[in-house]
Amino acid sequence: MAHVSIIFFWIAFLLYGGAFALFIYYLLTRRPAMNSLGLALVAAGLACHTAAVLLRGLDAGRVPAVGAYESLSLAAWSIVVVYLVLELFTRIKAIGLYVMPVVLVLLTLALVGYKAPAGLMPALRSDIVVLHVIVMFSAIGCLYVAGGAAIIYLIEEALLRRRRAGGVLGRLPSLGALEKLVYHATLLGLPFLTMGMLAGVIRAEAFVVPHWWVDPMVLLSLGAWAVYVVLLWGRIRADWVGSRIAWLAVTGLVVLFVIRFAAVPYLSGFHTYGG
């Protein structure tokens, strides 16, 4: 079973890679067929990825979110899901350009950290931990996509302003569409983040984790949460548009990266799933 899971994982990895190559090719040549083909590859990759995650979960007999391999693979999976859903609903092209490299990097890191499924330490065997993990990964999927759209927004805006638009004209989504995408993805992601954090707090309180509130990961998450709240507030109440929203989304993304790649492996006291 473990073999089958890793084979599916590899197939998904290759399909995502192929899709990324096609997205780049589309950007360079603008041939409409390339983008559709790329999307088809992503969809096929997601199917294999889903199989890999499910098999891994069956193999381990729990939610496959423990250890670097599982957690990174699951994060990549949720990003692809959010990306595909947004792409289908908004028909905004070129998000794949940002999303695919992130997914590929996460999967590579996952492979590097591959370990056979381990048993769960007793402290983590709890329904609320499962909820916490699932909700957090949903939030990460949404917020990574928002960050990706924001990066494309900033690049495109700079190109437009420098009159270098000839190259990207019509290939990248419009500024308006990207800004909406950032907004919608954040609107979707923030409630998940809030729920996930609440679940974490409840769990920490219930099991009397000492000084959980000074854990770097908890503090950083709170910081990210604040950034996204400001973003939504600015967009809804103060009519901020454009680059300010985009910069906030990028800031949030940076914090999320710090959490995942600095806080989890090196700083956090009790979020020991990472590695």
Partner 1 sequence: MLVVVTGISHKTASLELRERLALDEAGALRVAQELLSSGTATESVALSTCNRTELYLYGRDSLAARQAAVERLARHAGCSVGELEPSLYSYSGDAAIAHLFRVTSSLDSMVVGEAQIVAQMKGAYQAACEGGCTSVVFNRLFRHALEVGKRVRTETAIGERPVSVSSAAVELALQVFGSFKDHTVLIVGAGETSELTATHLKAHGIERILVANRTLDTSMELARRVDGRAVRFEDLEEHLAAADIVISSTSAPHYVITREVVERSLKRRRHRPIFFIDIAVPRDLDPEINRVRNAYLYDIDDLQHVVEHNRHEREKEAQHAERIVEQELAAINDWLRSLEVVPTIATLRETVEQIRQAELERLGHKLSDLTDEQRAQVEMLTASIVNKILHTPTVKMKEVAGRQDCYLYVDAVRTLFDLSGNGEVPRAGGNGAAPEEPTEVPEAPPAVSETPAEPAPGGATVHQLRGTGTDDA
- Chain residues binding partner 1 by CB under 8 A are 29-33, 156, 160-161, 163, 165-170, 172-177, 180, 239-243
From CA 29, how far away is CA 52, in angstroms rounded? Answer: 34
Q: How far is the CB of 239 from partner 1 (least distance, A)?
A: 4
Q: How far is the CB of 27 from partner 1 (least distance, A)?
A: 11
Q: How far is the CB of 205 from partner 1 (least distance, A)?
A: 43
How many beta carbons lie within 10 A of that of residue 114, not counting itself? 13
Q: Is the Cβ of residue 32 or residue 119 nearer to partner 1 in the bound state? A: 32
From CA 268, how far away is CA 259, in angstroms rounded? Answer: 9
From CA 48, how far away is CA 182, in angstroms rounded? Answer: 28
Supply the DSSP string of 207-241, one letter for each residue: TT-TTGGG-HHHHHHHHHHHHHHHHHHHHHTS---
Q: How far is the CB of 168 from partner 1 (least distance, A)?
A: 8
Q: Is the Cβ of residue 3 or residue 162 nearer to partner 1 in the bound state? A: 162
Q: What value, to the nearest 5°, has the Cα angle with vertex 55 and ends 51 and 59? A: 175
Q: Is the Cβ of residue 36 or residue 108 nearer to partner 1 in the bound state? A: 36
Q: And the tokens for 216?
A: 């770097």
Supply the DSSP string of 14-29, one letter for each residue: HHHHHHHHHHHHHHHH
Q: Is the Cβ of residue 85 or residue 160 nearer to partner 1 in the bound state? A: 160
Q: How far is the CB of 231 from partner 1 (least distance, A)?
A: 15
Q: Is the Cβ of residue 119 or residue 176 nearer to partner 1 in the bound state? A: 176
Going by the DSSP 8-state scheme, the letter that residue 94 receives in this structure is T
First to last CA, the chain: 24
Q: How far is the CB of 185 from partner 1 (least distance, A)?
A: 16
3-state class (DSSP) for residue 267: helix
Q: Is the Cβ of residue 175 or residue 204 nearer to partner 1 in the bound state? A: 175
